[in-house]
Amino acid sequence: MLKITPILCRPHEMDNYAYLLQDLETGASAILDASEAEPVVAECEKQNIKPDFLLVTHHHFDHVEGNLALKEKYGAKIVGAKADAERIAEIDITLCDGDEFFLGKAKAKIISADGHTIGHILWYFPEEKALFTGDTLFNLCIGGLFEGTIEQMWHSLQKIKELPDDVLFYPGHEYTIYGVRSLCGETGEKYRQKALSRLQKGLPAGPMTLGEEKICNPYLQAESLEEFAQLMG
């Protein structure tokens, strides 16, 4: 079983999430998207954990800037996309679309998701029903196109839409609040209440299920590339 602890980084600025992952069966642990070292170290000390791996969704500074300090402190190995190997400093293990990575006994499947960047990957733990989406999918919105095309992003989102509805997804930033006002319908109302009550307690709005997201996120609602392109303006 995978225990997942979100760690808010760069609060009130970029509101990144790093995630502490622990395979409870073996004790193996990792930090996914170590945005900055300080809050990650604080959480690791609180839980008495020395992470074995530093997992990366994409090369942007706000997803990797803690890596080198954490690598030095814990001797953790940096794991990211082969396509990003030149842009992720001191990367140790590179993975391609469809590859599997084991955190202890917890199996992750790598899903390539070009769009926000070229080389962006999703970390999918099918048995754990957990998906880490980096800057591809946020609650109620998606990441901007820094390197990829509208078609590539559309393609990446279709891959997410094909995953089961009961998978929980964990985004790279806390941006939920920007989309809650435009929610409508019964599922939208439930989504809004869940998100706002968690945010008011200082917690992440998520994780939401992909099922909820497929209904509430306008970018997942688009039924054709043309419709999606219109939405992207």
**Chain positions contacting Fe ion, by CB under 5 A:** 62, 135
Number of CB atoms found within 10 A of residue 85's CB: 14
**CB of residue 102 vs Fe ion: minimum separation in angstroms?**
26
The helix/strand/coil state of 62 is: helix
Nearest CA to 19 out of 47, 43, 50 is that of: 43
Q: 128 or 135, CB closer to Fe ion?
A: 135
Looking at beta carbons only, is 6 or 192 nearer to Zn ion? 6
User: Which of Fe ion, Zn ion, none does 15 bind, CB closer than 5 to 8 A by kind?
Assistant: none
Report, in Å, the least distance between residue 215 CB and Fe ion: 25
CB of 60 to Zn ion, least distance (A): 3
CB of 57 to Zn ion, least distance (A): 8
Write down the residue that tokens 């890596």 correspond to. 67
Which residues in the chain belong to E strands, given as ranges? 2-9, 16-23, 29-32, 53-55, 77-81, 93-95, 100-103, 106-112, 121-125, 130-134, 137-138, 141-142, 168-171, 208-209
Q: Which is nearer to Fe ion, 114 or 128 (CB)?
A: 114
CA–CA separation, 73 and 65 (whole Å): 14
Amino acid identity at 51: P
Token pair 């509430």 is found at: 216
Considering the complex, state which of residue 84 and residue 135 has its C-beta at the smaller distance from Fe ion: 135
Binding site for Zn ion (CB under 5 A): 60, 135
Cis peptide before 204 (omega within 30 of 0): no
> Whose Cβ is closer to Zn ion: residue 102's or residue 146's?
146
**Smallest separation (angstroms) from Zn ion to the CB of 8:** 16
